[in-house]
Amino acid sequence: MIVLVLNCGSSSIKYQLLEMKDETLIAKGLVERIGMEGSVITHEKTGHIKIVKEVPMKDHKDGIKHVMDALLAPDGGLKSLKDIDAIGHRVVHAGEKYSNSILISDTVVAALEECIDLAPLHNPPNLDGIQACKELMPGVPMVGVFDTAFHQTMRPESYLYAIPYKYYEKYGIRKYGFHGTSHKYMAIEAAEMLNIDVNDLKLITCHLGNGASVSAIKHGRSVDTSMGFTPLEGLVMGTRCGDLDPSIVSLIGEKEGITEGEVTSILNKESGVLGISGISSDFRDLEAAMKEGNRRAELALNIFARKVRFYIGAYIAEMNGVDAIVFTGGIGENDTYMRELICKNMGNLGIKLDPYKNNVRSKMVILSTDDSPVKIMMIPSNEELVIARETNEIVKHSRLL
């Protein structure tokens, strides 16, 4: 089965075309600046050079048309659109409606439209992508793979906030968690690497990129995660503040004479390690500045690492132990210094990083010392592959019905 995976952001579309027989990547690409000046598509058939083309694209439908043109070009990877057997869409928020990926129907689209209030920036472009595919490739089965779904196994003790219960009932205010596809992938791959059934494992998975979250995964099920009602809660991130005393919001608004919406935007876009350092949200810039003696860059990195350790400790307590800690994401896969900082001084918890093994980037490897009771692992993220696998399974199953 050939599966097209689409990840539609507000002004971008990431895509991959995969042959599921052997899980090979046929082609991949990225559409950027949709609806803006300078829209551009970058397409790469596996083993061929990248093709970059600037072309006006007014909306996601236009964008997907150009994805199809790129795939059908002589070095594109596809002979005919009829060869696409299924489409897998990454969808950010499914609220409490879906705890698994699902075949997209009109009912599913209506349910996702009801979740727009919960993810006003993310769900609309995801739905635009679904609508565009329906028009451009009618009849091709589509599957929705949700960021929130994997965390639907959390218990109310983990997901409820201590605010009047009526707000959960009236507005669905609770912890949902995000990066679910990535946390699930880490759990499955870690179990395979360790050659232990995932049902026998306690794992702490750390997705550390521009957005960052940690999850506690017991017996293959998410029991807790650091992101909350929105992806703003939890760890300190590139530009997001993470956990915060809520009274700070009204105080900043009052003192600065700005609206609550403007404060929220500052907490999302101008905070995190960028806010603390005043330099950059990119860990490469911060580490370079630290080496030149910049104290605030060093402080930002230390605060980030401390918060990851804080959640690791909390989740060890929550699960009464941990067998392995897994790292992924731009920072988790590339930042040797940050992994070392996070794992420092946790020997008494059985967490011992091997500095020699840690000197590696973006590989599926074990990074802990041979005598470390808790394994430390790195598993490069491959969310597109998870989306393609789920799409393949669901479409195959639906054909049997």
Which residue ranges make up the annotated binding site for ATP? 14, 207-211, 282-284, 330-334
Nearest C-alpha neighbor of 4 from the set 77, 86, 69, 73: 86
Site membership for ligand AMP, residue 238 (CB under 6 A): yes
C-alpha atoms less than 13 angstroms from C-alpha of 365 in its C-beta half-sphere: 17
Site membership for ligand AMP, residue 53 (CB under 6 A): no
Site membership for ligand AMP, residue 330 (CB under 6 A): yes
Residue 370 per-residue DSSP state: T
Q: What is the smallest separation between the CB atom of 30 and ligand AMP, expressed in angstroms?
A: 12
Task: Name which position in 331, 379, 386, 387 contacts ligand AMP (CB under 6 A).
Answer: 331
Residues 315/204, Cβ–Cβ less than 8 Å: yes
Which single residue is written with the structure tokens 């009618």?
A: 138
CA 19/CA 389 separation, integer angstroms: 10
Number of residues that bind ligand AMP (CB under 6 A): 12
Token duo for residue 74: 């002589």
Site membership for ligand AMP, residue 182 (CB under 6 A): no
The annotation places the binding site at 7, 14, 90, 207-211, 282-284, 330-334, 383
Residues 331/273, Cβ–Cβ less than 8 Å: no
Residues 335/283, Cβ–Cβ less than 8 Å: yes
Site membership for ligand AMP, residue 209 (CB under 6 A): yes
Site membership for ligand AMP, residue 334 (CB under 6 A): yes
Site membership for ligand AMP, residue 282 (CB under 6 A): yes
Site for ligand AMP in 68-87 (CB under 6 A): none
Residue 149 per-residue DSSP state: G
Q: What is the smallest separation between the CB atom of 19 and ligand AMP, expressed in angstroms?
A: 25
The region of 52-60, 154-162, 192-200, 276-284 touching ligand AMP under the rule CB under 6 A is 276-284
Burial 87-108 (b: 16+ CB within 10 A, else e): bbbbbbbbbebbeebbebeeeb
Q: What is the smallest separation between the CB atom of 296 and ligand AMP, expressed in angstroms?
A: 16
Known catalytic membership, residue 147? yes
Active-site entry in 85, 147, 323, 335: 147
Site membership for ligand AMP, residue 178 (CB under 6 A): no
The DSSP bridge partners found for residue 353 are 368
Active site residues: 147
Residues lying near ligand AMP in the complex (CB under 6 A): 209-210, 238, 281-284, 329-331, 334-335
